Structure 1
Amino acid sequence: MTRVALVLAAGSATRFGSDKLSATLNGEPLLFHAIRAARAAPVSRVIVVARPGLEIGDWQGSPSVDVVRIASEALSQSLQAGIAAAAGAEGAYVFLGDMPHIPHHIASHLARAIGDGFAAMPCEGGHPGHPVLLSARAYPAIAGLTGDQGAGRLLRQRSDVVFVDCTDPAIHADVDVPADLAQLRGNQPG
């Protein structure tokens, strides 16, 4: 089965106050951690949906890292641009560029669990997190999203979404404001 990973990185980070995806964590840009997690998924390629000017880095090896540039900050349009670039993939993982600590094993668990489901997502403490694995059946519904709306509401309305139990709260840890990044830095081992 051919799957891709999408890393959504087109937002402006207004709550952060500066370019959060370029802010460093463990000596490298926050975005690079998300790309690394996406590359660890069982995928044929990674597609980073980014705003113009965002530094993506040079990623050698497999899977390849491709970039789709969009001027819109709307989450729905980022997701739609990624799905369009996935052309023909039977599934797409959705990673967020501001979530640097996604455990690398989660994507494989989702792949095993999705079966004929519409989507699969990890769930910790009763709350769904990321990444989300969308089946190709989800693509037409994603095309109908508008504004700064991701797939969350759509997925909550469906009974054919598979939830995978996870004990790692990192599936919820995103960076919205500088204090979030400071907390992640403080929780680093060593």
Structure 2
Amino acid sequence: MNVVALVLAAGNSVRFGTDKRRALLMDGRSLLVHSVERACAVFDDVRVVLRDRERGMDLGLPPGCRVISSPNCASGMGHSLAAGAASLVDSEAQAVAILLGDMPWVETATLAGLGFNASASTIVLPCHDGQQGHPVLFGRAFWPALARLTGDEGARSVVKANPASCVRLEVQDAGVLLDVDSPDAVHW
């Protein structure tokens, strides 16, 4: 599998009330560490997009992760995604898996299956019970478009502009739909 992982974790957790990346899950690991460790179990190259001047070690991230700074993250997820995509210029991967730092329950087998189906010219979208989820994997052909994103829409515009390149994979993993937006959701 020739896929690089990009974990978006530069948001401000406004709906959560505090820095949800540090919220502890039932196993004692933080939300972000749990999400990143799942990515590290599958992908050889894991990059984590953080707020400007943050360090991975301060958030307990595994030492092998590359931290990408998003100085404009307050302007929306598109800016963070663009910063992460711009960091891919040194990658030889054929696709990037865009993971959200607040989705810790995506199974490693699901990540591996999505990666297996990725290619340089496709956008792989996981679906569960007919609902589209995350992570979304973008082939190398779409990286320039990702690097130009702005605002808070994320990569939705890239998906909408390329319907013929989209591959929807039905997965049995409800974790592709479950993010943490409130303290109660940590204990799913």
Q: TM-score over 0.5 for the alignment? A: yes
- Identify the match of residue 172 of structure 2 among 164, 167, 184: 167
The corresponding residue for 2:77 is 75
1:152 shift after superposition: 2.4
1:105 shift after superposition: 0.9
Q: Which is further off, 76-85 or 140-149?
A: 140-149
Report if aligned partners of 1:10, 1:71 keep a CA contact under 8 Å in 2.
no
Q: Please give the per-residue CA displacement for 1:17-36, whole angstroms capped at 9, x wherever unaligned.
A: 11100011121110011101
3-state secondary structure, aligned to 1:175: coil
Report if aligned partners of 2:2, 2:95 keep a CA contact under 8 Å in 1.
yes
The corresponding residue for 2:59 is 56
**Long gaps (5+) in structure 2:** none
CA distance in 1, matches of 2:61, 2:180: 23
Mapping of residues 1-190 of structure 1, within 5 Å: 2-25=2-25, 26-41=27-42, 43-51=43-51, 52-53=53-54, 55-60=58-63, 64-73=64-73, 74-87=76-89, 88=91, 89-115=93-119, 117-157=121-161, 158-181=163-186, 185=187, 187=188
Aligned residues: 179
Q: Please give the per-residue CA displacement for 1:97-137, whole angstroms capped at 9, x wherever unaligned.
A: 11111110112211222346421121101111111111101
The structure richer in helix per residue is 2
Report if aligned partners of 2:115, 2:137 keep a CA contact under 8 Å in 1.
yes
Identity of aligned residues (%): 35
Q: Check 1:144–1:71 CA distance in 2 against 1; reply closer, same or farther (3 A cut).
A: closer
CA distance in 1, matches of 2:84, 2:157: 19
1:58 shift after superposition: 4.8
3-state secondary structure, aligned to 2:153: coil
**Long gaps (5+) in structure 1:** none
